Amino acid sequence: MYAEDPAQGFLPQSGPLLLYREPEGPGVRVDSGVREGGMVSVHYDPLVAKLIVSAESRALALARMDRALSEFAVLGIHTNVPFLRALVNHPDVRAGRLDTRFIERTLDELIADIRVDTLADEVAAAACLAAATPASQGMSAVETPDPWSSLTGWRN
């Protein structure tokens, strides 16, 4: 999952992770180095997380991937999750008819269904930001923890 906007030529995004919830469940694994309240910086690759799924068959794995992607909750930045959902639900992907130019050929089709209700996203992001301000957590902005000063929170 990347912090990028597929509808804008996969333009990298930066900003705060106002809300960040990873999917869970059998056969679902997420590798990431971010957490809610963190920042996606312009100084690094926009990779936010790797989603890995496994199942007994291709069809079940694709269904599990779609479910996991639908449960990935991120506010504050655009991600490619809607694009990835369109990709895993494309009939040719489901049928295994892929090649190295598949996305290039089907890009317009894949991003056509990406509809972002920006007003709803902005309202939700503002609510998350208001609820997560240091003052509401009983600490000043100076006391806000710096993730680079500690190794806690890192996952394997």
All domains of the chain in start order, with CATH: 4-134 (3.30.470.20)
Q: Please name the residues in contact with 141: beta carbons below 8 A apart, sequence gap of 6 or more.
A: 134
Select the highest-mean-pLDDT range: 37-46, 90-99, 123-132, 142-151: 90-99
Beta bridge partners of 49: 32
For 9-18, b/e burial (b = at least 16 CB within 10 A) is eeebbeebbb
Q: How many helices (H) and strands (E) does the chain have?
A: 5, 8
Confidence at residue 44, expressed as pLDDT on a 0 to 100 scale: 86
Q: In the predicted model, is pLDDT for residue 80 greater than 80?
A: yes
The residue-averaged pLDDT of 90-97 equals 96
Q: Please name the residues in contact with 54: beta carbons below 8 A apart, sequence gap of 6 or more.
A: 27, 61, 64
For 33-61, b/e burial (b = at least 16 CB within 10 A) is ebebbeebeeeeebebbebebeeeeeeee
Greater model confidence, 6 or 114:
6
The residue-averaged pLDDT of 52-71 equals 97
Beta bridge partners of 11: 5
Q: Report pTM.
A: 0.75
The residue-averaged pLDDT of 14-26 equals 96
136 alpha-carbon distance from chain centroid = 26
Q: In the predicted model, is pLDDT for residue 105 greater than 70?
A: yes
Beta bridge partners of 50: 31
Confidence at residue 123, expressed as pLDDT on a 0 to 100 scale: 64
Rounded Cα–Cα distance for residues 53 and 79 (Å): 19
Confidence at residue 136, expressed as pLDDT on a 0 to 100 scale: 47
Structure tokens at 70: 């639908």
Confidence at residue 114, expressed as pLDDT on a 0 to 100 scale: 74
